[in-house]
Amino acid sequence: MHRTTVQTPGPATPSLLWPGKAARVPLSDREATLCDVYGYGEELGRLFRGDSFDMLSWLLNHGYAGTVDLVYIDPPFGGGSLYSRKVQFRGVDSDLVIQVPAYQDLWSDADYMQFMYERLVLLHRVLSETGSLYLHVDTAQAHYLKVLCDEVFGRENFQREIVWRIGWVSGYKSQAKNWIRNHDTILFYSKDPAHFYFDKQYAPYAAGYKRRGEGKKGKGHPLEDTWNCSDQDKLDSIQIKSFSHEKTGYPTQKNEQILERIIRSSSPEGGLVLDCFLGSGTTAAVARKMSRRWLAADVSPAAVHTSRVRLLTEGLGQLSSGFATYDFESATQTPTAEVAIERKSNKLDISIKSFQSPVLAEAASRQHGREGIDWRSTVDCVLVDLNFNGQAFRMDFADLPQAQLTVKGVYGPRTSGRVAVKIIDLLGNEVLVAE
């Protein structure tokens, strides 16, 4: 029998195609501006306000190629949702609750694939030779992104598909005439299958558990790639809990416990962790608690502010591990303020006379017909720099009230330096007033 071989076109590894796929990914050359510095210790974290693509390009343009030990990302899922959150005013206007957009997740399939492809290519380049990527997705995108990651990382670097069971769901989610959807997928890739860092994790043995002939010796049950699926491995989503002290109110916030597990297993102490879809700040907060350095970004000012407050309140008083914020965006919704700063020798009288947040005033008027809001009701916090250098703002103290309390608005610090006051509204929009 005569046989012929037909040469098929295309790459050896199957890959995804979408309309307009551009395989070349030129870096952006946007520069980041250093805005704020928090804490006096070594700068262990960098928080970028801007697009993840600009942040990753900036890192690659500034010597970070091959330096990151661990990437965790929980990007938008391309699910066609418009995520919003509720914002409650403070003080005398605390009866007012407005609904504001948090972020949009509205894409065509092709745009979403191109968006993820470009970022995965750059993430692969920032990872070190022993580094890993964890990509948190839902079932709608998991299989497309698996093929995309195979293309970018190489199939040999696919390590595990982790199935995270969300926990017992109730309400409308449990009404589906179908199997109840109850898990997210986390794709785990290495940069090099022979050298990736991994510290195996264990769940404690159940009470009364006996290993045959040995009793209860050993480290526990090695964790599997199905999480929150047994009595030994409890990890219910904070989204289905009515109360969790972790909750920031940011939609789609993930549990610290997930990040603890990933960071402990896949980065050494002192290592560098990156999340360029930071949301409420979970990765940065956990990396800091676990003595890792971190790089983070989010395009939404509300996310960056939620993360900043989270890092400040959890570390206030022991700001030995400092962090800095950088900006790619030029602010478009800047509030205005009038601040009187009077100096009697080294003693200062700082008094906020007025503050106007156009976005909050407009939302209160449109959603509730309410005018003449007290300025204190719209302010989340006031930060003060006692030695402002005219460029980066370095926080010396913060008026960061809890829950529905309002900022004081008058302060009497001592300094001979130049004073700058940063006032931040409930949405994370800010104004800086300097002497």
Ligand X SMILES: C[S@@+](CC[C@H](N)C(=O)[O-])C[C@H]1O[C@@H](n2cnc3c(N)ncnc32)[C@H](O)[C@@H]1O
Q: How far is the CB of 254 from ligand X (least distance, A)?
A: 4
Minimum CB distance to ligand X smaller for 130 or for 252: 252
Parallel, antiparallel or unpaired: strands 68-73 and 127-137: parallel
Minimum CB distance to ligand X smaller for 272 or for 284: 284
Minimum CB distance to ligand X smaller for 43 or for 329: 329
Q: Decide: 423 and 380 in contact? Cβ < 8 Å.
A: no
Minimum CB distance to ligand X smaller for 257 or for 300: 300
Minimum CB distance to ligand X smaller for 187 or for 361: 187
Minimum CB distance to ligand X smaller for 246 or for 396: 246
Q: How far is the CB of 138 from ligand X (least distance, A)?
A: 10
Q: How far is the CB of 242 from ligand X (least distance, A)?
A: 19
User: HSE-up of 257 (CA within 13 Å, CB side)?
Assistant: 15
Q: How far is the CB of 50 from ligand X (least distance, A)?
A: 7
Q: How far is the CB of 235 from ligand X (least distance, A)?
A: 14
Q: Decide: 350 and 421 in contact? Cβ < 8 Å.
A: yes
User: In this structure, what token pair is assigned to residue 246?
Assistant: 């972790």
Q: Could you give phi then psi for residue 347, rounded to 5 degrees?
A: -90, 130
Q: Tell the residue number behind the tokens 């009288």, with chain if given.
A: 349
Q: How far is the CB of 251 from ligand X (least distance, A)?
A: 8
User: In this structure, what token pair is assigned to residue 286?
Assistant: 């956990």
Minimum CB distance to ligand X smaller for 279 or for 352: 279
Minimum CB distance to ligand X smaller for 250 or for 294: 250
CA distance linking residue 324 with residue 36, whole number of Å: 5
Minimum CB distance to ligand X smaller for 130 or for 248: 248
Contact residues for ligand X, defined by CB under 6 A: 51-52, 74-76, 103, 250, 252-254, 276-277, 279-280, 282, 297-300, 303
User: In this structure, what token pair is assigned to residue 82?
Assistant: 């418009």
Number of neighbouring beta carbons within 10 Å of residue 138 = 14
CA distance linking residue 186 with residue 20, whole number of Å: 27
Q: How far is the CB of 250 from ligand X (least distance, A)?
A: 5
Q: How far is the CB of 303 from ligand X (least distance, A)?
A: 4
Which residue of this chain has its Cβ atom nearest to ligand X in the complex? 279
Minimum CB distance to ligand X smaller for 78 or for 93: 78
Q: How far is the CB of 51 from ligand X (least distance, A)?
A: 4
Minimum CB distance to ligand X smaller for 51 or for 399: 51
User: In this structure, what token pair is assigned to residue 254?
Assistant: 């993930």
Q: How far is the CB of 108 from ligand X (least distance, A)?
A: 15
Q: How far is the CB of 73 from ligand X (least distance, A)?
A: 8
